[in-house]
């Protein structure tokens, strides 16, 4: 891949959107069109065979790119080049290239073929991330960790619940992504104005056969300027990338030296620094968060070009290929990066417990308040705990000790209750039930 794209895609997706791959997809459309038309008796079988003999290596991508700027689409120079390739071997067959189709039919259908392959790549990495999170959640079902609200310590949760929450979000949005792909992966075949008039009354028949030949769905009608299904797919990519970004943000914060509760996998050349040998940087998180910063703008741009004129757009359709390529590749980078991160994530339960203890027990102020509230009233109990927390901070004492010196507390809470006050396992509510509910939707 080009060096400038090295932090914007993965090797499989870079190959998928390469010149060769795009040429193969456009050629696949033209070959499939010729084959179904030959079977239907619309063009000679000899012509279809001559068209099918072409290969992607027959084309000069650089020349086609140059000519595309003059034609306003890669399809026109591609069809012209294909016609000449066929003519060189069978002059009569050349006249049947691209029979009854229009340039946007080639471009959009080729894009669908590429996106069909992209779905497999994206799903595979998302499933890798899900499997890793399922394992982490089970392994750390009872590992206590600080809950953090507004980046400040809160009552404890379990790392198992945290991982299950991440898992649930990926699963929900992978399902939406699959649905969006299913709706978007449709044939484009409408001819000049979307009526298939060049094929007479056999247009729908050919369209249905062509869709089967290409492994795409045949829509109710051509969709040249109706980009809603493709837009929904781009939005689904945007949401899924945001979900992955939330996980990356959490992990990168937990990796900070002052916190040090988890760490990304380490390997030669991964996560180091050019000047600081001690560094173990959150590289997977960095790549994912970079993706999150790029995707929303591209999705927004795609939505802005949905307003396309009449039966063929002026500029809108021409703007789509780079956006779709960018969104898919960036989403794929985020998925692959987080899959690698989660599969090798190191979790430190001892450090998690130490960080809980370092709060001097003040994170259990809510628990103490709820124990006192039935007798004192919530407002009085709240003020009492505010005073206790202030003393903890000023006197560097633990909450249990401060409360033990307060007569208003000791007359209501015995020493055994106070001794258990700061036990995180005693204040997890229904954390494990919630974790189980989230994991119940996971299908390995």
Q: What is the CATH number of the domain that holds 160?
A: 1.20.200.10
* Cα 289 to Cα 284: distance, rounded to the nearest angstrom: 9
- From the list 333, 260, 267, 259, the residue with the least C-alpha distance to 295 is 333
3-state SS, residue 364: helix
429 φ/ψ sector (left φ>0, alpha ψ -120 to 50, else beta): left
Q: What is the per-residue pLDDT for 254?
A: 98
Choosing from 193, 266, 273, 440, the catalytic residue is: 273
- Residue 167, both tokens: 């898992």
Residue numbers of the domain that contains 263: 102-186+223-358+427-444
Say whether both 301 and 376 belong to one domain: no
% of the chain surpassing 70 pLDDT: 97
Domain assignment present for residue 191? The answer is no
Domain assignment present for residue 192? The answer is no
Total number of domains constituting the chain: 3
Q: Give the residues across from 347 on adjacent strands.
A: 262
Please tell me the number of Cα atoms within 13 Å of 386 on its side-chain side: 6
- Residue 364, both tokens: 């259990």
Say whether both 38 and 139 belong to one domain: no
Q: What is the per-residue pLDDT for 279?
A: 46
Domain assignment present for residue 159? The answer is yes
Say whether both 310 and 295 belong to one domain: yes
% of the chain surpassing 90 pLDDT: 92
Choosing from 148, 202, 280, 312, the catalytic residue is: 312
* Cα 342 to Cα 131: distance, rounded to the nearest angstrom: 9
* Cα 300 to Cα 305: distance, rounded to the nearest angstrom: 9
Transcribe 13-55 into DSSP letters: HHHHTSHHHHHHHHHHHHHHHHHHHHHTTSS-HHHHHHHHT--
Q: Give yes or no: 312 in active site.
A: yes
Transcribe 174-210 into DSSP letters: HHHHHHHHHHH-B----TTTSS-GGGGGGHHHHHHHH
Say whether both 352 and 299 belong to one domain: yes
Cα–Cα distances (Å) from 274 to 83, 257, 258, in that order, read: 54, 18, 22
Q: Which helix (H) or strand (E) covers residue 238, if one does?
A: helix 228-254
Residue 271 has pLDDT above 70, yes or no: no
* Cα 107 to Cα 77: distance, rounded to the nearest angstrom: 12
pLDDT tier for residue 59 given thresholds of 50, 70 and 90: very high
Transcribe 56-99 into DSSP letters: GGGS-HHHHHHHHHHHTSSHHHHHHHHHHHHHHH-HHHHTTTTT
Say whether both 257 and 233 belong to one domain: yes
Say whether both 328 and 392 belong to one domain: no
Per-residue pLDDT reduced to its tens digit, 64-86: 999 999 999 999 999 999 999 99
Say whether both 295 and 147 belong to one domain: yes
Q: What is the per-residue pLDDT for 246?
A: 98
Q: What is the per-residue pLDDT for 274?
A: 40
Q: Which helix (H) or strand (E) covers residue 152, if one does?
A: strand 152-158
Residue range 175-201: mean pLDDT, rounded:
97
Per-residue pLDDT reduced to its tens digit, 204-255: 999 999 999 999 999 999 999 999 999 999 999 999 999 999 999 999 999 9
Q: Give yes or no: 273 in active site.
A: yes
* Cα 167 to Cα 214: distance, rounded to the nearest angstrom: 34
């Amino acid at each position: 891949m080009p060096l400038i794209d090295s932090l914007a895609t993965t090797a499989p997706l870079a190959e998928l959107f390469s010149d060769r791959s795009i040429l193969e997809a456009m050629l696949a459309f033209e070959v499939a069109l010729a084959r179904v038309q030959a079977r239907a008796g619309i063009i000679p079988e000899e012509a279809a065979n001559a068209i099918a003999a072409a290969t992607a290596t027959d084309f000069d991508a650089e020349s086609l790119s140059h000519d595309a700027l003059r034609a306003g689409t890669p399809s026109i120079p591609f069809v012209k080049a294909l016609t000449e390739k066929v003519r060189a071997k069978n002059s009569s067959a050349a006249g049947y290239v691209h029979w009854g189709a229009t340039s946007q039919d080639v471009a959009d259908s080729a894009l669908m073929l590429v996106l069909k392959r992209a779905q497999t790549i994206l799903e595979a990495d998302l499933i890798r991330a899900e499997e890793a999170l399922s394992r982490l959640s089970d392994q750390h079902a009872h590992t206590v960790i600080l809950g953090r609200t507004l980046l400040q310590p809160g009552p404890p949760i379990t790392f198992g619940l945290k991982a299950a929450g991440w898992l649930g979000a990926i699963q929900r949005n992978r399902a939406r992504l699959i649905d969006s792909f299913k709706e978007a992966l449709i044939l484009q075949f409408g001819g000049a104005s979307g009526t298939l008039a060049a094929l007479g009354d056999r247009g729908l028949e050919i369209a249905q056969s062509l869709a089967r030949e290409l492994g795409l769905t045949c829509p109710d009608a051509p969709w040249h300027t109706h980009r809603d299904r493709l837009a929904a797919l781009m939005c689904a990519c945007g949401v899924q990338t945001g979900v992955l970004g939330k996980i990356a943000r959490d992990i990168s914060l937990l990796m900070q030296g002052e916190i040090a509760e988890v760490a990304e996998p380490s390997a030669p050349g991964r996560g180091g620094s050019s000047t600081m040998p001690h560094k173990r940087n959150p590289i997977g998180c960095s790549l994912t968060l970079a993706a999150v910063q790029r995707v929303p703008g591209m999705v927004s741009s795609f939505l802005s070009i949905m307003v396309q004129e009449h039966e063929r757009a002026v500029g809108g359709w021409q703007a789509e290929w780079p956006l779709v390529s960018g969104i898919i590749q960036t989403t794929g980078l985020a998925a692959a990066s987080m899959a690698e991160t989660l599969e090798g994530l190191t979790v430190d339960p001892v450090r998690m417990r130490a960080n809980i203890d370092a709060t001097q027990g003040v994170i259990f102020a809510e628990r103490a308040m709820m124990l006192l509230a039935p007798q004192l009233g919530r407002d009085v109990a709240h003020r009492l705990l505010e005073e206790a927390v202030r003393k903890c901070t000023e006197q560097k004492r633990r909450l249990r000790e401060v409360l033990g010196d307060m007569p208003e507390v000791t007359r209501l809470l015995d020493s055994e209750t106070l001794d258990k006050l700061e036990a995180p396992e005693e204040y997890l509510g229904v954390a494990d039930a919630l974790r189980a509910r989230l994991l119940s939707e996971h299908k390995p």
